[in-house]
Chains A and B, each alone.
Chain A
Amino acid sequence: MPGMDCRLVVAQTNPTLGDIQKNLEDHLQRIDAATGAADLILFPELSLTGYFLRDQVEEVAQTLDAPFLRPLLERSKRISIAFGFVERSREGRLYNALGFLEDGRFLAVHRKVHLVSYGLFDEGRDFAPGEQFRVIESRHGRFGPLICEDMWHMPSAYSYFLADADALLVASSSPARGVEAPGPGLASQRTWNILLQASALLYRTWVAYSSRVGWEDGIGFGGGSRVLDPYANTRGALEGLEAGTLAASIDSSVLRRARSELPLRRDEKPELLAAELARHVPLLRALRAEHALQHE
């Protein structure tokens, strides 16, 4: 891995639901404030649009060449920008997407793979799922983009681990819930912290987590944005329910040392996993087919 450090700013924002002009202005302000001091700024999931969009999904969607996005592209000549938006693809699909802008262009777009459609959530109705995990090869490092629920499925971060990512970039709009005693704090936030720490440790990777705050029709978003090093130490965090920004450096020497001390990646056996999957997948398919037959 080339020795590359990245000065990162994590933005914890409170988007106004569906008011993309207002949200764009908030992005530009935060980007301008970070430009010069940082190499990369990370925004939360759907940061440009707000979360519970429902029928607004169609109305706020942007194609990658949309004039609306130009101010962001323009600024990406001086700072790399990862932001959440609704992508309208050329075949007319709508994606919950994380755009990665660099040098005035879209370097990458990660489309959320694991859409949530249970309890509070209905993403499966409004969005098409993404179909891949691809490392972003930025001038500031190799980044693994993930959107919220993506993080809960082991193969997501594992793919980036195999692909030698330096850092996971996790963008989230996670509803705050679980106030039961003794705590401390929100159950949802505690769970996220465990997940982020475990991922940092298991994959020996930097983890940047940008999570929004604010309320949409009584549903609060928990914030708790943070940056963890490959030992799972917190290098910076925004606790509480306020919007804000947090600066941290993704230091490649820390990453190198952490991976030398505990060479999990070197000793990983992806061939073994591939063989096991080759055995499991047909069995799972057969089970699904059997289930279908019973209902015919």
Chain B
Amino acid sequence: MSELDIQPELVAELLVAFLREEVGAAGLARTVVGLSGGVDSAVVVALCARAFGAENVLSVLLPYRLSSPRSAQDAALVARRLGLPTKRVDISAMADAYLAGEGVTDARRRGNVLARCRMMVLYDLSVDWNGLVVGTSNKSEILLGYSTQWGDAAHAVNPLGDLYKHQVYQLARFLELPEDVIEKPPSADLFEGQTDEGELGFTYADADRLLYRLVDRRYSEDELVAEGFEREFVRRVSARIVASQFKRVPPVIAKLSRRSVGHDFRYLRDWKR
């Protein structure tokens, strides 16, 4: 039992209602999800299947030539288990046309290009499918800024954005997703052997415990240290949150007029919907 534990049944019920209403607000009842083989997108498609029926959830496999074959296998397993219509779009040709042309070798740049290629495909397919692109970023990733802006972080609605990784695992088990998908180390799979935790330099378990206290419970740095967290770790994570704020807000608009979008034109997206 962890303090981060949720009631998965209640959360699933809320998220199914959320998906129906917020996708419905766009006048739609179908969704498109990029299925990576990881636990986050597996949970999202399972929730979408509950909300709209499996036949209305297009799961898209988007491998690159260097992607781990296990990712595609796991993604296919999830799609098969849930009975989802599946589409496979290999992004190698489109990505390489640019990467080779520009001579991009830097892993971070390449990773961002791959994430944005995937976004482009999902948004294009969503028109043909007449569905909304549903995001799979969880609260841990969002707070740590562990995402590509306009890449995996681009989507219309996101059911997982207020769940820490620990809580996503709990939900995955409740939804009876394949153990293989739940057990394997989280990875963005943007280069060989990449793992989230390797790249971040700490585990999600530690990050979640800290983020929960820092963000949800508003602990101060001193209170966190008194609870046994390394001050250095607290500072590193806090700095990441601050540095990645730009990924969590819409673009900044220069205010010039009497009433400006982004400043004092205050309407929700669900305006009259």
A-facing residues in B2-55 (Cβ within 8 Å): 3-7, 10-11, 13-14, 17-18, 21-22, 25
Interface status of A192 (Cβ within 8 A of chain B) = no
Interface status of A106 (Cβ within 8 A of chain B) = no
- Kindly identify which residue among A17, A52, A54, A220 contacts B273, using a CB–CB cutoff of 8 Å: A17
Residue of B with least CB distance to A240: B13
A-facing residues in B165-184 (Cβ within 8 Å): none
Interface status of B100 (Cβ within 8 A of chain A) = no
A54 to B268, CA, bound (A): 8
Find chain A residues with CB under 8 A from B7 CB: 179-185
Interface status of A267 (Cβ within 8 A of chain B) = no
Q: Is the interface of A mostly helix, strand, loop or mixed?
A: loop
A-facing residues in B151-171 (Cβ within 8 Å): 157
Find chain A residues with CB under 8 A from B271 CB: 17-18, 56
Find chain B residues with CB under 8 A from A217 CB: 22, 268-270
A181 contacts B1, C-beta separation under 8 Å: yes
**Closest-CB distance, A69 to chain B (whole angstroms):** 20
Interface status of A44 (Cβ within 8 A of chain B) = no
Question: If the complex has contacts A214-B21, A218-B22, A220-B17, are A19 and B268 also in contact, measured as CB distance less than 8 A?
Answer: no
Interface status of A138 (Cβ within 8 A of chain B) = no
Interface status of A241 (Cβ within 8 A of chain B) = yes
Interface status of B236 (Cβ within 8 A of chain A) = no
B-facing residues in A172-195 (Cβ within 8 Å): 176, 179-186
Residue of B with least CB distance to A50: B270
Find chain B residues with CB under 8 A from A16 CB: 272-273
Question: How many pairs, one residue from A and one from B, have CB atoms within 8 Å of each other in the complex?
Answer: 67
Question: If the complex has contacts A214-B21, A241-B13, A241-B17, are A179 and B6 also in contact, measured as CB distance less than 8 A?
Answer: yes
Find chain A residues with CB under 8 A from B14 CB: 176, 179, 220, 241
Interface status of A216 (Cβ within 8 A of chain B) = yes
Interface status of A158 (Cβ within 8 A of chain B) = no
Question: If the complex has contacts A17-B273, A18-B271, A215-B18, are A179 and B11 also in contact, measured as CB distance less than 8 A?
Answer: yes
**Closest-CB distance, B134 to chain A (whole angstroms):** 13
Residue of B with least CB distance to A126: B266
**Closest-CB distance, A77 to chain B (whole angstroms):** 31
A55 contacts B21, C-beta separation under 8 Å: no
B5 contacts A19, C-beta separation under 8 Å: no
**Closest-CB distance, A162 to chain B (whole angstroms):** 38
Residue of B with least CB distance to A217: B268
Find chain B residues with CB under 8 A from A220 CB: 14, 17-18
A52 to B266, CA, bound (A): 10
Residue of A with least CB distance to B159: A218
- Kindly identify which residue among B10, B25, B265 contacts A183, using a CB–CB cutoff of 8 Å: B10
Find chain B residues with CB under 8 A from A17 CB: 268, 270-273
A54 to B264, CA, bound (A): 10
Write 7 A-B pairs (CB below 8 A) sorted by A numbering.
A17-B273, A54-B268, A55-B266, A179-B10, A181-B5, A185-B7, A217-B268
Interface of A with B (CB < 8 Å)?
Answer: 16-19, 52, 54-56, 176, 179-186, 214-218, 220, 241
The 9 closest A-B pairs by CB, nearest first: A54-B266, A181-B5, A215-B21, A55-B266, A217-B268, A183-B7, A19-B272, A18-B272, A179-B6
